[in-house]
Each structure stands twice: as C-alpha cells, then as structure tokens.
Chains A and B, each alone.
Chain A
C-alpha cells in the first residue's frame, strides 16, 4: 500500500460496551483496497457488534473507526451523509422494506440520493437485478421471495449506488448449500467486476474459506487470528483450531465450579 493512500477501512483500539458489559476489548483491523475481509467467529463472539460499529450505528466507548480516511464518529452529519452514499450494506435478514416491491426497494437509494428520472432509475435497478440474477422479479413484494432471493435483493440494493465499500452480514446463513454457494460466487463476482472493498461477517467456515482474501477471527471480543486462508487453516493457536474444528472449549470440566454454577453460589 502506498503511504499516501490510506486503507479504506481502519479500526484502532475499538472498545465497546452494552451497558456495563464489555463486548469488544480493543479491536484493531485494517482492510485493504479491493480485498474481501471475512470476519469469523462463533455465535456471541461480537461479530454483529463489530459490524454495527463499522457502520456507525453504535458509538464506541473508545477507539477510532476510519472509513475512506474519515473518522466516522468525528465528522459532521453532512460528511457522514456523503460517506454513506459510498457504502452499501446487506443485512442478515435482508431488511427489505416490506411495503415496497423488490424493484422499489432497490431503487430507493437512487430516488433519495440522485436526481435521475424514473426511467433511468428503473434501468439502473434492472441492471443490478441482472447482476444478482433476480431479473424479472422487480414487481414481487419481499414477502413473496425465498430466503436466497431476499439475500440477493438485499445485495442488489446495497450495490445500486456503486459503493466503494460493501458490508454483508451472514450472507449465506440459513440457506441450503447450493443457494449458499451461489451467493458466495456472487460476492466474488461483485468484487472482481466492481473492485469493491468487501467485509463479510459469517460463522460458516466453508463460505469464509471460499471467498476470503484474509480472515479475521474474533473470539470473546478479541481478534485471536488474522491472515490469509492458508495462514488461518494452519494457525498454531488452540483457540483458532477449536473454532475451525467446531470443538467447544473448556472440555476439561471443573466439577466443583460446575456444581457451584448449578446451585447459584459464587
């Protein structure tokens, strides 16, 4: 990376709480231009919390999140507004607006942020629907879509403004293997065709290994490993290997502690 061009995503010492509970314990991460960074970790490891901070939906206790060189918690509302036009987000459940048709959903960012005429917006929306292989479904309502189609429509809406940053939360969770792998291919295609920088949050190993340029393993609010697919696969740490092999930790059971937990003492 040339020093004059900052990484599109830079996180420094991010510490976050829900109420009094410490969730992220000082997370630092750089995502490079044009790479697919997969954030992996078990359930409850803090992936969604991390993503929500990257998106500026939550405010950290301390630490810095810089997107495209701008500190999202320090810039003014107008700058943040402009920044948000350069990022797209596909939420886990799709988050399509149920009162609008699929086509209207995909056109919404164009309608709100551009002065294009109706016809042009329709063409642009259809183009993105072609990309996600949903052509011809623009008149359906979100409730009429299957799980895989919802994820595709959410992706189409996320990329309709041709963003530089794309965030996907669990893009293949809850889908059957065939549909899930087609979504993975779609993400790879998006990066290759549009050169976007992509952050994917997932707990699915296969999907992570398939699409990632680098993987960041999150556990109990800390990054325990960061590296290429091969580096993560061969990682010496036991915690990482446990996660990869779906072993639960603390298999050596402390009988006394267990009893105390059950009886609610100490």
Chain B
C-alpha cells in the first residue's frame, strides 16, 4: 500500500551508501598516497616484491586473453569500417577510423573491462575473505597498516600494468585490423602501418593511456571498497565480488564518457 515512501526510503538509503562509498574510496586514495610517500619514514615502506607479485597477476597473466580480445576487436572494427565506407567508395580511408578508434577508445575500454572482471573481482574477493577471517585485524594488531600492506601494492601494480596492457592491446588490435585490411583491400601491411602512423598523433596515444590509468585507479578502489564492506561469511564475499565487477565496469564506462566529453570536443 505504501509503496512510494518505501521506494523513496530505499533510494535514499542507496544514495547515502553510494556517497559513503565514494568518500571511503577517496580517503583510501589519500591514505595510499600517504603511505607511498611517507611509509619509509614511518618504518612501514611499501615493499617491491609485493608490487611485483600483483603486477604478475594483474598484467602478465592477463596477456593471453587481452591479446585474443584485442585482435578480435581489431578485425571486427576493420570489417565494420570497410562496410560503412563502401557506399562512398572510400574503403582505403578505413585506416584513420581504425587507428583512432582503437587507440583512443577500444583498447583502453576493453582492457579496463577485462582487468575489472579478472583482477578487480579477485581483489574484492581476497580482501573480503581476509576481512572475514580476521586477517585484516591480525595485520592491524601486528602494527602493519592494511592499506600500506594490501592496497598500495595492488594500486601501483594496476597503475603500471593496465596502461601497459592497453599499449599492447593497441598494437595487437591494429595488427589484427591490418591483417584483415591487407587481405580485403589489396593494401600491403607496410602501407597500412604507414597510414596508421600518419593518422595518429601523440595526443591520441596519451588520451588512451591516461584513460587507462584512471580506469586502473577505479578498478582498484572499487575492489577495495567492496572487499572491505563484506559481511555475512562466504556468501557475502560472493556478493561483493559480483558487485565490484558491476560497479567497476559502470564506473569505467561513465568515466570514459565524461573524460571524452571534457577533453575531446
């Protein structure tokens, strides 16, 4: 009977929770910077091996799947590009469209989504499990700051590996598209490469890579915020894991749009 006050209340609660989580994410980022800069002075340095471990997991292990998806997307873009230019008889101009859309949009986006699904969820699950098993409490009573020990290594690894993977995805997607184009349009791979490079400016590359760095940060913070908010045992861990993937991908897509809107017009 009283559906609307109920609905209002639920919307209100969800909004309050969202704002609290964004605030938590922002303070985590600040605290991470603090430990990164002042950790050594506080006798709590951020350890390099921990960063390498994370970088292996987030970056190197993701290489095969990034390669496959980037190549596939390159071919798909080539097919669609040629199809859309055919009515104008301008198929040979397809390189510009491919080069720009891969480097500015598709490579960062697909890499971000992939890492969110692979590593953002894993981060949320790992932190959530540690939280429930009192491992986070154990760190605190040992005098080991959990943000310094768990969050900073993951954040740094993400900030290095996501742009690196994006650069690799740029290369693979352009190569995949090139292979298709050279077969379809009797354009040699060398000419294709030359035209790609002509249509790309440094700005396009930095546009894509800056976005991927922002995505890296979003994925980490969303994963950590969700992992830290877990309650209710193993089932709770499953819930926050799913939630973190959905949130991270939404954050990536929305941020992408805002970034493009602010920078490109």
Which A residues are closer than 8 A to B by beta carbons? Answer: 52, 55-57, 77-78, 80-82, 84-85, 87, 89, 91-98, 108-109, 112-113
Chain B positions within 8 Å of A94 at CB level: 133
CB distance from B17 to the nearest CB of A (A): 15
Tell me the nearest residue of chain A to B148, going by C-beta: A112
CB distance from A26 to the nearest CB of B (A): 25
- In angstroms, Cα B140 to Cα A95, docked, is 12
Beta-carbon contact of A98 and B144 below 8 Å: no
Beta-carbon contact of B141 and A57 below 8 Å: yes
B42 within 8 Å of A (CB atoms): yes
Known: A78-B42, A81-B43. A95 touches B142 (CB 8 A): no
5 contacts between A and B (CB under 8 A): A56-B141, A57-B137, A81-B42, A93-B133, A95-B138
| New A-B pairs, 5, CB < 8 Å, besides A55-B141, A92-B134, A108-B144 | A77-B42, A81-B44, A91-B138, A94-B133, A112-B44
Please encode chain B, from 113 to 145, with 1 for each CB lying within 8 Å of some chain A CB and 0 for all others: 000000000000000011001110110111110
Chain B positions within 8 Å of A85 at CB level: 143
Tell me the nearest residue of chain B to A154, going by C-beta: B138
Beta-carbon contact of A97 and B42 below 8 Å: no
CB distance from A67 to the nearest CB of B (A): 11
Chain B positions within 8 Å of A92 at CB level: 134
Chain B positions within 8 Å of A91 at CB level: 134, 137-138
Partner pick for A81 among B134, B135, B137, B143, CB 8 A cutoff? B143
- In angstroms, Cα B134 to Cα A57, docked, is 11
Chain A positions within 8 Å of B142 at CB level: 84, 89, 108-109, 112
CB distance from B18 to the nearest CB of A (A): 20
Which 8 pairs of residues, A with B, have the shortest CB-CB distance?
A: A84-B143, A95-B138, A95-B134, A91-B134, A89-B141, A81-B143, A95-B135, A55-B141
Chain B positions within 8 Å of A87 at CB level: 141
Beta-carbon contact of A97 and B135 below 8 Å: yes
Please encode chain B, from 171 to 200, with 1 for each CB lying within 8 Å of some chain A CB and 0 for all others: 000000000000000000000000000000
Beta-carbon contact of A89 and B138 below 8 Å: yes
Partner pick for A57 among B44, B133, B135, B140, CB 8 A cutoff? B140
- In angstroms, Cα B140 to Cα A82, docked, is 12
Beta-carbon contact of A93 and B129 below 8 Å: no
Chain A positions within 8 Å of B133 at CB level: 93-95, 98
Tell me the nearest residue of chain A to B129, going by C-beta: A98
- In angstroms, Cα B143 to Cα A25, docked, is 29
- In angstroms, Cα B141 to Cα A87, docked, is 8
Beta-carbon contact of A93 and B42 below 8 Å: no
Which one of B135, B140, B141 has the highest number of Cβ atoms from chain A below 10 Å of its Cβ?
Answer: B141
CB distance from B153 to the nearest CB of A (A): 12
Beta-carbon contact of A95 and B137 below 8 Å: yes
Please encode chain B, from 37 to 74, with 1 for each CB lying within 8 Å of some chain A CB and 0 for all others: 00000111000000000000000000000000000000
Tell me the nearest residue of chain B to A113, going by C-beta: B143
Chain A positions within 8 Å of B140 at CB level: 57
CB distance from B183 to the nearest CB of A (A): 47
- In angstroms, Cα B33 to Cα A209, docked, is 50
Which one of B43, B134, B143 has the highest number of Cβ atoms from chain A below 10 Å of its Cβ?
Answer: B143
CB distance from A118 to the nearest CB of B (A): 13
CB distance from B118 to the nearest CB of A (A): 17
CB distance from B260 to the nearest CB of A (A): 38
Chain A positions within 8 Å of B138 at CB level: 89, 91, 95, 97
